[in-house]
Structure 1
């Protein structure tokens, strides 16, 4: 019996992982002899994935063996050259804004969209002090996007050294000092010229005011330009739209959504009925965050997110998407209207993401398959990153492996691949206990045989 138990101790203590994945895609290689390939992940791969770290997205060779591979996020976008837009500006009398934070002593006329169309001095000619004027700037639709102001002087003066106080406002009544002193300089000496005609800006406020710190000396202003960030390269944003659900009867203004798969979500947007506006608190949750209280599973992503749509004839305008800052693969999303009132229109929720890729080495026999979707996939260690870093250092930062693309997807193991693995039995402990019990029985049997052998014979 002990010999038999000894053979049991030699059996594997854990069952090998089954090669079961929900879906597969054939890989089409741009060139046959490349040692490394990169395939961009399509929508279907993210929908099939089970784990948020995409450990169940792998590449197999023709014999079903996994290749050395690594999942990579989307490349960081690089900004293009800055763009310039001409801004609307108005000269204010020197007495109109003598003190920081004061209301304008002028009448400012605005149209229905808030655009400044005219400025009229309320003090009259007698009350207007002489000196350098202040400048009122209307950023309009570019509010929050302008990164700097560029000043263009009339007549291109050769000697300018001026100071201004930069202020901002949303209503032309209450003003906030953004910078107590900005300098505008244009100097020339011995054929060399020093120019500083750019004012850095970081504010969401729509209206700006530049108040001179000197009494006079400023040349006439020809134009003011706003500097906008350049268009982002490699901004291949894709969207997953979740249909508007029915309102939660127990919580007015609350809507919950569930997305299939593991999309690296970085942006949110909503589709509202025309001519409506709603502010939201956005939360997300996932089954893999185990907490005692279900309410604690929800992580607040943003609050006070104001969304709106406006139908102006044939032109439809809407609020900008919400930037999350960090990507998340959460499956469950919640919108809570602020304030929470019954009858809030149910929006369709749109999740924005930029697709990542899988880099793999062509180690085995072609053709290759990309597979995804397995609850039993384990975390895999990869040594590809040091190699890829060395290749980029030697071939340039823009170097990429050869291109591989996905063919038509097909079912592999289907839904059964998402069934969790059966609990692993601790065979080692079971074998040890069996050995101990068998040893105890053997000792007991040996003792009993000794007792029988020493029993005195009956006369």
Structure 2
């Protein structure tokens, strides 16, 4: 009977230990017999999380036991292979380019957009003079985007070794030397071939020219192509839009925002009315950074961030998002206009993040479920990182465990899971104080008994 009463007393504690997370999601593995799985976290998981390090995001088996798991940030996007585009180029008389950076004795015709449409000798000669020609390249709207030039010959010479001076200009009059000697090489030896037909670029100038350093020897040119950096393969940015809280009358043009959850924010943007230009100081803070009960201090993320929107006819253009450099899981954000002008409209704050994932080992009984939201969760150390690093070294950097998808969420402990644990009592101090008080009472009682024993006999 006594043992039964003990179990009945422990049942509420066991239930509380099992249901100490706010929400739970069933996991749906894409492969039934995989030894490890990766679960991509969605916005619901980040909203439910209490701790900034996501210590309260865990995977449990069918018996409620936590599985060995590791939190991972979003993988760095892999750049796609470089793209090549056809460039507009023109041959110029060889006798016109003799000095570095000098003007050319040619007439260049351009259209209203600055695009070169024809090149001819200033003397009116129809043909080119003897010798290797120079090449004029118009990058057009791709100026600043082209990372290299690719040279394609009209025929396939057996061997060549040519030198060129690379120059750049924005107006076709003033030229600057970008590379004093570029080598274009094709060599063959015993069935092997060495080709160097690439000219690296690092300039935003629109017009380029390749001036030969030799008098002759270059084969006819078929094409010049521009090499553009490949776009990132992954574009999984997610955006949260926050409205400003009540305005601060004591500080004009200061707006504050509250973010629910622990999102790994890496980008900041604003949505403003058309035809607006404002510079902002961006700050963030969190309650877990309080010192001695004081208000947490704001951490400045950026100053002088210029934002603008322009409505030009039917086309709307806006400034680029702000890159924070490192992710932040702070809950409170603040925008302060520079200068602080009263009447500045409150923008919609947009916070961008890339979802991370949880990798776990299938150790216990299926089905598995992911839980999140627990103010009493303690920090735990992951033991999976060495194994994951070894598997990626063996199978390639992009190796990933089998996927598992999140099902529909359900309430587990609800809001009760966000109640912080009561401060731990210092039982040693309480016991010491109890001993001291008991000792003081004993001494007082002993003294009182002595005083009573020393009274005169006649009293």
- Please, what TM-score do these two structures have when normalized by structure 1? 0.75
Match of 1:216 in 2: 215
Match of 2:116 in 1: 117
Task: Give the alignment of 1:291-370 within 5 angstroms.
Answer: 297-300=299-302, 322-333=322-333, 348-370=348-370
String of CA shifts for 1:403-434, please: whole Å, max 9, x gaps: 32211123334445445444444333232222
* 1:53 CA drift (Å): 1.8
> Which of 141-150 and 352-361 deviates more?
141-150
* SS of 1:377 mapped into structure 2: coil
Q: Distance in 1 between matches of 2:145 and 2:231?
A: 12
Q: In the superposition, relative to structure 1, how do residues 61 and 164 fare at CA in structure 2: closer, same or farther (>3 Å)?
A: same
Decide whether the 8 Å contact of 1:166 with 1:178 is kept in 2: yes
* SS of 2:240 mapped into structure 1: strand
1:82 aligns with 2:82: yes
Q: Distance in 1 between matches of 2:99 and 2:156?
A: 27
Decide whether the 8 Å contact of 1:138 with 1:206 is kept in 2: no
Q: Distance in 2 between matches of 1:106 and 1:256?
A: 61
String of CA shifts for 1:363-396, please: whole Å, max 9, x gaps: 4454433222334333222212223334445666
The size of the alignment, in residue pairs, is 436
* SS of 1:298 mapped into structure 2: strand
* 1:150 CA drift (Å): 0.8
Q: In the superposition, relative to structure 1, how do residues 188 and 28 fare at CA in structure 2: closer, same or farther (>3 Å)?
A: closer
> Which of 411-420 and 44-53 deviates more?
411-420
Q: In the superposition, relative to structure 1, how do residues 109 and 379 fare at CA in structure 2: closer, same or farther (>3 Å)?
A: farther
Match of 2:194 in 1: 194
Decide whether the 8 Å contact of 2:166 with 2:211 is kept in 1: no
Q: In the superposition, relative to structure 1, how do residues 443 and 251 fare at CA in structure 2: closer, same or farther (>3 Å)?
A: closer
* SS of 1:225 mapped into structure 2: strand
String of CA shifts for 1:81-131, please: whole Å, max 9, x gaps: 22211122344566469343x67776766656x5523365795449x9976
Decide whether the 8 Å contact of 2:138 with 2:208 is kept in 1: no
Q: Distance in 1 between matches of 2:209 and 2:343?
A: 46
Match of 2:382 in 1: 382
Q: Distance in 1 between matches of 2:246 and 2:115?
A: 43
* 1:457 CA drift (Å): 8.3
* 1:225 CA drift (Å): 1.1
* 1:45 CA drift (Å): 1.2
* SS of 2:387 mapped into structure 1: helix
Decide whether the 8 Å contact of 2:285 with 2:296 is kept in 1: no
Q: Distance in 2 between matches of 1:351 and 1:120?
A: 50
Q: Distance in 1 between matches of 2:355 and 2:169?
A: 39
* 1:441 CA drift (Å): 3.4
Q: CA RMSD in A?
A: 4.4
* 1:297 CA drift (Å): 2.0
Decide whether the 8 Å contact of 1:305 with 1:322 is kept in 2: no
Q: Distance in 1 between matches of 2:248 and 2:168?
A: 42
Q: Distance in 2 between matches of 1:106 and 1:332?
A: 62
* 1:44 CA drift (Å): 1.3
What runs of 5+ residues in structure 2 fail to find an aligned partner? 1-15
Q: In the superposition, relative to structure 1, how do residues 393 and 91 fare at CA in structure 2: closer, same or farther (>3 Å)?
A: closer
Q: In the superposition, relative to structure 1, how do residues 277 and 129 fare at CA in structure 2: closer, same or farther (>3 Å)?
A: farther
Q: Distance in 1 between matches of 2:103 and 2:259?
A: 50
Match of 2:206 in 1: 207
Q: In the superposition, relative to structure 1, how do residues 272 and 163 fare at CA in structure 2: closer, same or farther (>3 Å)?
A: farther
Decide whether the 8 Å contact of 2:107 with 2:121 is kept in 1: yes
Match of 1:286 in 2: 285
Match of 1:98 in 2: 99
Q: Distance in 1 between matches of 2:29 and 2:21?
A: 22
Task: Give the alignment of 1:49-198 within 5 angstroms.
Answer: 49-92=49-92, 95=96, 98-100=99-101, 114-118=113-117, 123-125=122-124, 132-169=132-169, 177-189=177-189, 191-198=191-198
Q: In the superposition, relative to structure 1, how do residues 155 and 376 fare at CA in structure 2: closer, same or farther (>3 Å)?
A: same
Decide whether the 8 Å contact of 2:359 with 2:401 is kept in 1: yes
